[in-house]
């Protein structure tokens, strides 16, 4: 009997993971393609676990501040066992950090997980996370920057929606709190996310910092994937590479000059992945260190994306910025470039 394409994907996925010693059963990969799991929404009195899966904050007092931050939102705070661990640029050993994340998912008293910081090191944990256990204990996990690797890997391997959003090491701006509330606390069947803050409408004043730039007109619908561009590139060619087929791909970065963003986007283009997405959303590329001998960031984005003919919008409030939205990885969304909107087509939490 001929093997179906779906069975071929399952078989090849299982063999690929087994060859790398990851022990991923075929059903786990199939779940990432066919099943979506939504965690429970946030409400006062729940317990939020705090974890540092990458780097740590400089001082223990910063960790205490993160716990106070969680309490300020109306939650109980629970520290991961190794929250205070440090090993140079890492928040403890790889095993300590993986154990912390696994333990918070397994802990029945923990309802959601907030990362305290990004930095570096999340990718080192991907082989040591217990995806079967995580998928059986769905709960919100939120972070950004280096946490991109963990968010996309968990969604890929379990189907659980994960959340690219603020960390517990920073305060929420009014804008961020409202976006957080829309997505995680009081969602509606369709939710607009990432629109720029309200412009100052006084005569003689125009918004200059938070502007939306259409790169390619049009609209598209698909599941959301993405996050920090540098981290997405490191996932390419690994068993944790996101599913680009028909996706709305969102990207941001910090301290990467235009040539570096050009290099990473070119890498994605050379893999053939950019042609497979339905739409592209660029957030903010901050601290990009322009000098006199450079293309502008807008030129880089246009040169790489305009030939694709895929709806592309720049300037959504995603990235290393104070006013940031919460993007649920795996949720279905609609991008309308001409209207300048990114709209969730489903609630991301139950």
**Catalytic machinery residues:** 145, 252, 320
Q: How far apart are CA 150 and CA 208, in angstroms?
A: 34
Q: Where does 229-329 show beta strands of DSSP type E?
A: 248-254, 279-286, 312-314, 327-329
How many residues belong to the chain? 350
| Dihedral sign from CA coordinates of 162, 165, 166, 172 | negative
With 0-12 / 13-18 / 19 or more C-beta atoms within 10 angstroms meaning exposed / middle / buried, residue 85 is middle
Q: Could you tell me what percentage of the chain is helix, strand and coil, using 3-state DSSP and rounding each to the nearest 5?
A: 35, 20, 45
Q: How far apart are CA 317 and CA 252, in angstroms?
A: 10
* Helices 5-19, 26-34: inter-axial angle, 10-degree rounding: 130
């Amino acid at each position: 009997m001929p093997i179906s394409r779906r069975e071929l994907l399952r078989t090849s996925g299982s063999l690929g993971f087994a060859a790398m010693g990851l022990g991923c059963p075929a059903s786990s990969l199939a779940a990432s393609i066919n099943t979506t799991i939504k965690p429970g929404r946030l409400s006062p009195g729940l317990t939020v676990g705090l974890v540092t899966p990458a780097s740590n904050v400089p001082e223990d007092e910063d960790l205490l501040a993160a716990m106070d931050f969680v309490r300020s939102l109306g939650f109980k705070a629970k520290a991961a066992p190794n929250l205070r661990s440090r090993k140079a640029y890492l928040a403890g050993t790889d095993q300590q950090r993986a154990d912390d994340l696994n333990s918070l998912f397994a802990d029945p008293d923990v309802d959601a997980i907030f990362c305290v910081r990004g930095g570096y090191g999340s990718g080192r944990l991907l082989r040591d996370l217990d995806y079967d256990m995580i998928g059986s204990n769905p709960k919100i996990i939120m972070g950004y920057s280096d946490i991109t690797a963990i968010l996309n890997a968990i969604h890929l391997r379990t189907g659980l929606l994960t959340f690219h959003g603020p960390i517990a090491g920073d305060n929420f701006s009014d804008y961020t709190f409202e976006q957080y509330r829309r997505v995680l606390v009081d969602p509606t069947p369709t939710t607009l996310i990432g629109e720029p803050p309200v412009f100052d409408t006084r005569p003689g004043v125009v918004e200059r910092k938070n502007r939306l730039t259409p790169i390619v007109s049009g609209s598209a619908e698909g599941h959301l994937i993405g996050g920090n561009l540098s981290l997405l590139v490191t996932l390419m060619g690994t068993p944790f590479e996101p599913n680009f087929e028909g996706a709305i791909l969102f990207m941001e970065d910090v301290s990467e000059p235009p040539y570096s963003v050009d290099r990473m986007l070119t890498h994605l283009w050379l893999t053939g992945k950019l042609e497979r997405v339905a739409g592209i959303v660029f957030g903010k590329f901050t601290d990009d260190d322009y000098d006199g001998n450079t293309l502008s960031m807008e030129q880089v984005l246009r040169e790489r994306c305009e030939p694709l003919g895929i709806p592309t919008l720049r300037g959504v409030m995603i990235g290393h910025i104070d006013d940031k939205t919460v993007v649920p990885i795996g949720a279905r969304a609609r991008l309308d470039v001409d209207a300048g909107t990114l709209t969730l087509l489903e609630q991301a939490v139950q």
